[in-house]
Chains A and B, each alone.
Chain A
Amino acid sequence: MAELSQSETRSDARDAADAQRKSGLNARWHRLSINQKQVVWAWAFLAIPIVFYVVVRFYPTGNAFVLSFQEWNLLNDREWVGLENYIDLWNNDVFWVVFVNTFEYLIIGTPISLVVSFFIAYHLDKVRFMHGTIRALYFLPFMTSAVAMAWVWRWFYQPVPIGVFNNFLAQFGIPQIGFLNSTTIALPAVLAPAVWAGLGFQIIIFMAGLRAIPATYYEAARVDGVSNWTMLWEITLPLLKPTIVFLVVFSSIGFLRIFDHVFNMTTNNPGGPLNSTKPLVLMIYETAFGGRSQMGAAAAQTVVLFVILLVVSLVQLRIMRDK
Chain B
Amino acid sequence: MFSGLRTTLAASALSGAALLAAAPATAQVEIEYWQYYFGARVTAMEQLIENFEAANPDITVNMTHFPYANYRTQVAAAIPAGEGPDVVQLFYGWLNDYVEAELIQPLPEDAFPAAEIQAEFFPMVSAMEQDGRYWALPTAVRSLALFYNERLFEAAGIDGPPETLDELVEIASQLTERDGAGNITQVGITTGMTGQDHHWFREVLVRQMGGVPYSDDYQTVTYADEAGQAALDFYVGLEEVHGVTQGGFMDEAQAAFRAGRAGMHIDGSFRIGALNDTRGLEWGVAELPAGPDGTRSNYSSYWVNAITSQAEGERFDAAVLFMQYVTSPEAMQIWLDVVGELPARVEVGLTEENANDPVYGPFIRGLEYANTTLFADESAQRQLLVEMVERVQLLGDDTASSIATAAEAEQALLDDYYGD
Structural contact, B379 and A290, CB atoms closer than 8 A: yes
Nearest CB in chain B to that of A161: its residue: B185
Given the contacts A160-B185, A289-B73, A75 and B251 also touching, CB distance less than 8 Å: no
- A274–B185 CA distance with the chains assembled, in angstroms: 26
Which residues of A sit under 8 angstroms from B196, Cβ to Cβ? none
Which residues of B sit under 8 angstroms from A182, Cβ to Cβ? 394
A73 proximal to B (CB < 8 A): yes
Q: Which of A73, A75, A158, A273 contacts B390 (CB 8 A)?
A: A273
Which residues of A sit under 8 angstroms from B386, Cβ to Cβ? 269, 272
Structural contact, A291 and B379, CB atoms closer than 8 A: yes
Structural contact, B179 and A170, CB atoms closer than 8 A: yes
- A159–B198 CA distance with the chains assembled, in angstroms: 23
Structural contact, B394 and A273, CB atoms closer than 8 A: yes
A154 proximal to B (CB < 8 A): yes
Structural contact, B390 and A268, CB atoms closer than 8 A: no
B377-395 vs A, CB cutoff 8 Å, 1 = contact: the mask equals: 1111001001100110011
B199 proximal to A (CB < 8 A): no
Given the contacts A292-B376, A293-B76, A155 and B183 also touching, CB distance less than 8 Å: no
B265 proximal to A (CB < 8 A): no
Classify chain A's interface size: 35 or more
- Give min CB distance, B219 to chain A, whole Å: 15
A63-90 vs B, CB cutoff 8 Å, 1 = contact: the mask equals: 0000000010111100000000000000
A181 proximal to B (CB < 8 A): yes
A-side interface mostly: loop
Structural contact, B394 and A183, CB atoms closer than 8 A: yes
Which residues of B sit under 8 angstroms from A180, Cβ to Cβ? 248
A17 proximal to B (CB < 8 A): no
Which residues of B sit under 8 angstroms from A22, Cβ to Cβ? 2-3
User: How many B residues, CB 8 Å from partner?
Assistant: 44
Given the contacts A159-B248, A272-B390, A75 and B103 also touching, CB distance less than 8 Å: yes
B238-265 vs A, CB cutoff 8 Å, 1 = contact: the mask equals: 0000000011111110000000010000
A243 proximal to B (CB < 8 A): no
Structural contact, A290 and B247, CB atoms closer than 8 A: no
Structural contact, A75 and B395, CB atoms closer than 8 A: no
A173 proximal to B (CB < 8 A): yes
Given the contacts A75-B80, A268-B192, A160 and B100 also touching, CB distance less than 8 Å: no
Which residues of B sit under 8 angstroms from A26, Cβ to Cβ? 2
B72 proximal to A (CB < 8 A): yes
Q: Which of A155, A170, A181 contacts B247 (CB 8 A)?
A: A181
Structural contact, A274 and B380, CB atoms closer than 8 A: no
Q: Which of A25, A273, A290 contacts B380 (CB 8 A)?
A: A290
Which residues of A sit under 8 angstroms from B252, Cβ to Cβ? 268
Q: Which of A29, A154, A160, A291 contacts B183 (CB 8 A)?
A: A160
Structural contact, B77 and A159, CB atoms closer than 8 A: no
Structural contact, A159 and B246, CB atoms closer than 8 A: yes
Nearest CB in chain A to that of B97: its residue: A75
Given the contacts A22-B3, A161-B261, A154 and B251 also touching, CB distance less than 8 Å: yes
- Give min CB distance, A98 to chain B, whole Å: 13
- A183–B181 CA distance with the chains assembled, in angstroms: 24
- A161–B183 CA distance with the chains assembled, in angstroms: 9
Q: In chain B, residues 1-39, which have Cβ atoms closer than 8 Å to a Cβ of chain A?
A: 2-3
B325 proximal to A (CB < 8 A): no
A162 proximal to B (CB < 8 A): yes
- A286–B380 CA distance with the chains assembled, in angstroms: 9
- A176–B182 CA distance with the chains assembled, in angstroms: 10
- A170–B383 CA distance with the chains assembled, in angstroms: 31
B28-56 vs A, CB cutoff 8 Å, 1 = contact: the mask equals: 00000000000000000000000000000
Which residues of B sit under 8 angstroms from A162, Cβ to Cβ? 250-251
Q: In chain A, residues 256-271, which have Cβ atoms closer than 8 Å to a Cβ of chain B?
A: 268-269
Nearest CB in chain A to that of B417: its residue: A292
B101 proximal to A (CB < 8 A): yes
B375 proximal to A (CB < 8 A): yes
- A74–B181 CA distance with the chains assembled, in angstroms: 53
Q: In chain B, residues 95-131, which have Cβ atoms closer than 8 Å to a Cβ of chain A?
A: 97-98, 100-101, 103
- Give min CB distance, B243 to chain A, whole Å: 14
Q: Which of B77, B185, B380, B394 contacts A181 (CB 8 A)?
A: B394
- A278–B98 CA distance with the chains assembled, in angstroms: 31
Structural contact, B395 and A181, CB atoms closer than 8 A: no
- Give min CB distance, A53 to chain B, whole Å: 23
B275-286 vs A, CB cutoff 8 Å, 1 = contact: the mask equals: 000000000000
Which residues of B sit under 8 angstroms from A155, Cβ to Cβ? 251
B295 proximal to A (CB < 8 A): no
Structural contact, A74 and B73, CB atoms closer than 8 A: yes
Which residues of A sit under 8 angstroms from B377, Cβ to Cβ? 290-292
Structural contact, B76 and A74, CB atoms closer than 8 A: yes
- Give min CB distance, B198 to chain A, whole Å: 11
Structural contact, A268 and B194, CB atoms closer than 8 A: yes
Structural contact, A76 and B100, CB atoms closer than 8 A: yes
* A interface residues (Cβ-Cβ under 8 A, vs B): 22, 25-26, 29, 71, 73-76, 154-155, 158-162, 166, 170, 173, 175-176, 180-183, 268-269, 272-275, 286, 289-293
Question: Nearest 10 pairs between A and B by C-beta?
Answer: A291-B377, A75-B101, A268-B194, A74-B76, A292-B377, A160-B183, A273-B390, A274-B390, A161-B185, A76-B101
22 interchain pairs, CB-CB under 8 A: A25-B2, A73-B97, A74-B76, A75-B80, A159-B246, A160-B185, A170-B179, A181-B247, A181-B248, A182-B394, A268-B195, A268-B252, A272-B390, A274-B390, A274-B391, A286-B379, A289-B73, A290-B377, A290-B380, A291-B375, A291-B377, A291-B378
Question: What 5 additional pairs, Cβ within 8 angstroms, besides A162-B251, A181-B394, A291-B376?
Answer: A166-B183, A176-B183, A273-B394, A291-B377, A292-B417
